[in-house]
Homo-oligomer: A and B are copies of this chain.
Amino acid sequence: MERLTIKDIARMAGVSHTTVSRALNGARNIRPETYERIMEICRSTGYTLNAAARQLKRSDSGAIGIIVPDISNAFFCELTRHLEWLTRQEGRNVFISSSFYDYDIEDQNIRALMENRVSGIILSGVGDQTYLRLRDYFGKVPIVFLGDNLPEGMVSQITVNNYEGTYMAARYLISLGHRDLMFLGGRKSSVTHCRRQQGFLDAVSGAEGVHGEIFTMLSGSRIEDGYHTGLAYFTRCLEEKRPFATGILCISDHFALGVMQAAVEAGVEIPEQVSLIGFDDVSFASLPRIQLTTVSQPKEEICTAAVQTLEELIRADRPAAVSYKAIQPVLICRETCGPPSR
């Protein structure tokens, strides 16, 4: 389909294409009538300027890119929505894409953003290899990294204090009287996950007479992963006729929801027999009859900080001091926790 160019508009308006360009760009020093005539022609013909041509001159699209591992995870969904909203407020166009937890796709996506000369990127990385695989891009474009999957100090970074989050959560279970704890889920290749596991471990080993273990089976943190892991854990305990832990921490809310489902199927009552805690505070965690106790990541705060940091990096062009911001998570007590059954 043929598109009109600025020259076509110029011809129709009886001016030079320079003048049309001026009209299109905010236009001061242009006669009001000329301006109106040009704009009217653009409107009636449905002219849309060619962003590629503009960018070629301006060398920067003004847009920003957002990459998350999995947009169907409610946490990233909500994060993305906020980020998109805030960024559009700044008048920028936004390119969103998912890496599907795949390093190659992540690479392709960031490359596509670079080729499109975005002004900046907000990236939530796939895992601990992200930095090594993408480091050639860092330093070539302003980037704000979300989460922990990155050696500190290399790129500006916003993350919730993951260690602190699970530490708090485990302490909470212990304060409720639980002595037998379990951490379900997480993968070695995610620094974020390792920090969460470590927070749990340290809380446990810091408490007298408390036992805690980590049980991992699948690398994902989706509902299904939680379901299968939970089911495996519950049935194994049942078969071996040993009691299961009375307090369970999960790698994420989605995962915890899956564990909850497994519990229902295995006939395990929550919170009567087992207390359950998630991580993220996804919107569905507060649903009636779910009412999941969880460690909340303050999403608005994270997003505001991310967008603001990125804008500063973009404005600062060259020197760009690397910043690190850790946001304090908040334990949200709902109805999946109670005193231990034994």
Which residues of A line the B interface, CB within 8 A?
1, 3, 46, 48-56, 59, 61, 70-72, 74, 77-78, 80-81, 84-85, 88, 93-98, 100, 105, 108, 111-112, 114-117, 136-137, 140-141, 223, 257, 260-261, 263-265, 283-284, 287-290, 317-318
A24 to B70, CA, bound (A): 30
* Known interface pairs A50-B56, A71-B81; 16 further A-B residue pairs with C-beta atoms within 8 A, sorted by A's residue number: A3-B59, A3-B117, A46-B140, A51-B112, A52-B52, A52-B54, A71-B96, A72-B81, A74-B77, A95-B95, A95-B96, A260-B288, A261-B288, A265-B288, A287-B290, A290-B290
Q: CB within 8 A of A287: which of B3, B84, B115, B260?
A: B260
Report which residue of A52, A93, A115, A263 has the largest number of chain B beta carbons within 10 angstroms of its beta carbon.
Answer: A52
B77 A140 Cβ-Cβ under 8 A: no
Q: Jot down 13 A-B pairs with beta carbons below 8 A, ordered by A.
A: A3-B140, A50-B115, A51-B117, A71-B80, A71-B81, A74-B74, A88-B108, A257-B284, A261-B287, A261-B288, A265-B288, A287-B287, A289-B289
Find the B residue at minimum CB distance from A262.
B288
Is the Cβ of A98 less than 8 Å from the Cβ of B81? Answer: yes
Which chain B residues border A52 with CB–CB below 8 Å? Answer: 51-56, 61, 116-117
Copies in the complex: 2
Give which listed residue, B3, B117, B257, B288, contacts A50 with CB less than 8 A: B117
The residue of chain B having its C-beta at the shortest distance from the C-beta of A59 within the complex is B3
Question: A260 with B283: in contact, given A46-B137, A71-B71, A116-B52 (CB under 8 Å)?
Answer: no
- Residues in B neighbouring A46, C-beta threshold 8 A: 136-137, 140
Which residues of B sit under 8 angstroms from A54, Cβ to Cβ? 52
- A70–B140 Cα distance when bound, in Å, is 32
